[in-house]
Amino acid sequence: MTEQDKKYIEALEENAKILFADSDFYDVIETIGAEYAYKLAKCFSGGYIYIPKLETIQRAQRDKDIFYEVQQGRSYKNIAKKYGLSTRSVQGIVKKTLENLADRRKTEV
């Protein structure tokens, strides 16, 4: 991080409420802090980024965890009970994960 970047971050910290009081960017600064807000602005300046719903992120992590547990030899029944799902749902998650991995391998070749 350059000295100039540090100055901009410091200015954001001190003046965010004055500069961005009525904007979504102020909410970003308040939520993640001036340094990370600055990094976002620097990377995506003037553009739009899609931020998925939290439940989408949590579900993706759950599915990854389920797939890992299957690889470790845990039974579908035990995994289903642990996550409050049906055995069929766990099987579907594993199948979908395997398909996604196969698709990735095809595009990498």
The count of structural domains within the chain is 2
Distance CA 16, CA 27 (A): 10
Based on the fold, state whether residues 103 and 85 are members of the same structural domain: yes
Model confidence pLDDT, tens digit, residues 15-33? 777 778 778 888 888 899 9
Based on the fold, state whether residues 73 and 102 are members of the same structural domain: yes
* 49 within some domain: no
Distance CA 108, CA 76 (A): 30
Residues in the chain, overall count: 109
The model scores a pTM over 0.95: no
Distance CA 69, CA 91 (A): 12
Based on the fold, state whether residues 35 and 59 are members of the same structural domain: no
pLDDT attached to residue 59: 96
Model confidence pLDDT, tens digit, residues 23-82? 888 888 889 999 999 999 898 888 888 889 999 999 999 999 999 999 999 999 999 999
Based on the fold, state whether residues 36 and 72 are members of the same structural domain: no
Domain that holds residue 81: 54-108
